[in-house]
Amino acid sequence: MDQYLAVLNKYAVFSGRAGRREYWMFLLFNLIFSIAARFVDMTSGSEAILMGMRPVSLAYGLAVALPSLAVGVRRLHDIGYAGWWMLLLIVPFLGPVALLVMFCLAGDPGENKYGPAPAASAPEMKAAEASQPEPPQQS
């Protein structure tokens, strides 16, 4: 839940990087809340008002649209791609599939041109560094 709230707090931050954990936890909670909003709409008997969406679902969708775009851009930055790659969403079928694959990739270790590695991936980096053998000491 902390990851979800962190993304909402950075709702319009398109710079920097977002790790896989931050992105996927946001997506998970977003899915849960979307289902809950849909359930509220269905049980309240409200009518569809825009493109088949009912009031609660529409309000929630509008509320998380910008944070979703921002965390997607930051996730792309984490793997070394520009945020403009989010435009793949407008390519039917193949665009979203390509982005799904990109979002699953591990982020660049250390700093890249978009900033330092996200804090969530720091333990993973320390584990990778610990598994590397140390160079022999010279006496």
Distances (CA, A) of 60 to 5, 57, 80, 130, 137: 14, 5, 30, 43, 59
The per-residue pLDDT for 41 is: 87
* pLDDT confidence tier of residue 32, bands split at 50, 70 and 90: very high
> Read out DSSP for 11-60?
TT--SS---HHHHHHHHHHHHHHHHHHHHHHHHHTPPP-BTTB-HHHHHH
Residue-wise pLDDT tens digits, 108-135: 998 999 999 987 544 455 555 555 556 5
Over its C-alpha atoms, the chain yields an Rg (Å, rounded) of: 19
Reported as a single tens digit per residue, the pLDDT across 44-63 is: 877 777 677 788 889 999 99
Residue boundaries of the structural domains of the chain: 2-131
* Spatial separation of the C-alpha atoms in residues 63 and 65, rounded to whole Å: 6
Q: What pLDDT sits at residue 123?
A: 47
Among 11-15, 64-68, 71-75, the minimum mean pLDDT is found in 11-15
Residue 100 pLDDT level (bands cut at 50, 70, 90): very high
Model pTM?
0.77
- 64: confidence class by pLDDT, cuts 50, 70, 90: very high
Rounded Cα distance, 104 and 132, in Å: 24
